[in-house]
């Protein structure tokens, strides 16, 4: 057993867990943050994607020890109160989700994709970048539309700052 200290969605957290605990299970089982999902256990589907210190990481492949001392953001932590993150709003506005199971991972991965590519994000680049996130419902058509829409909103917001 080890004591793990990290920041989750801006709040300091200290938990005593088995060393072999995966970050996704710490979030889901110990912190009750069930928005982060497990779809494959093998880092293929991306449903478990969260941000560790601002970068998208698949939390089913991170031992809690590796996350000690980091700052984690999950799907529950990206809205500003009642105000949705532009990526969340764009998924809703463009019907970018159906069953919703891959959606939290898609949103977290997509925020990072937009952060890294900014205004240079094209449909081709986006489709390549989404390689690590699998959706079985949407055929990606509306996910691509959502992320490109959000990229516009996010870069416009950055320009305004």
Closest by Cα among 150, 26, 138 to 88: 150
**Residue length, the chain?**
161
Closest separation between CB of residue 68 and other proteins, Å? 20
The residue (of 69 and 100) whose beta carbon lies closer to other proteins is 100
Alpha-carbon distance of 132 to 126, in angstroms, equals 11
> Would you count residue 71 as binding other proteins (CB under 8 A)?
no
141 binds other proteins (CB under 8 A): yes
According to the binding rule CB under 8 A, does residue 52 interact with other proteins? no
Question: How far is the C-alpha of 74 from the C-alpha of 27, rounded, in Å?
Answer: 9
Give the residue, chosen from 41, 54, 119, 157, that forms a contact with other proteins under the rule CB under 8 A: 41
Stretch that binds other proteins, among 51-59, 61-69, 139-147, 149-157 (CB under 8 A): 139-147
Q: Give how far Cα 150 sits from Cα of 64, 112, 142, Å.
A: 31, 12, 12
Task: By CB under 8 A, tell whether 76 contacts other proteins.
Answer: yes
């Amino acid at each position: 057993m080890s004591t793990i200290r990290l920041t989750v969605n801006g709040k300091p957290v200290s938990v005593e867990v088995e060393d072999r605990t995966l970050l996704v299970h710490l979030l889901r089982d110990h912190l009750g943050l069930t928005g982060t999902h497990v779809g494959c256990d093998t880092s293929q589907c991306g449903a478990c994607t969260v941000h560790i210190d601002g970068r998208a990481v698949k939390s089913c492949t991170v031992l809690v020890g590796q996350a000690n001392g980091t700052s984690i953001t999950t799907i529950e932590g990206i809205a500003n109160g009642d105000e949705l993150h532009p990526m969340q709003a764009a998924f809703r506005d463009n019907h970018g989700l159906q069953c919703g199971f891959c959606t939290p991972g898609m949103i977290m991965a997509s925020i990072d994709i937009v952060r890294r590519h900014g205004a240079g994000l094209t449909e081709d680049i986006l489709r390549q970048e989404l390689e690590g996130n699998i959706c079985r419902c949407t055929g990606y058509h509306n996910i691509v539309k959502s992320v490109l829409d959000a990229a516009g909103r996010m870069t416009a917001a950055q320009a305004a700052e």
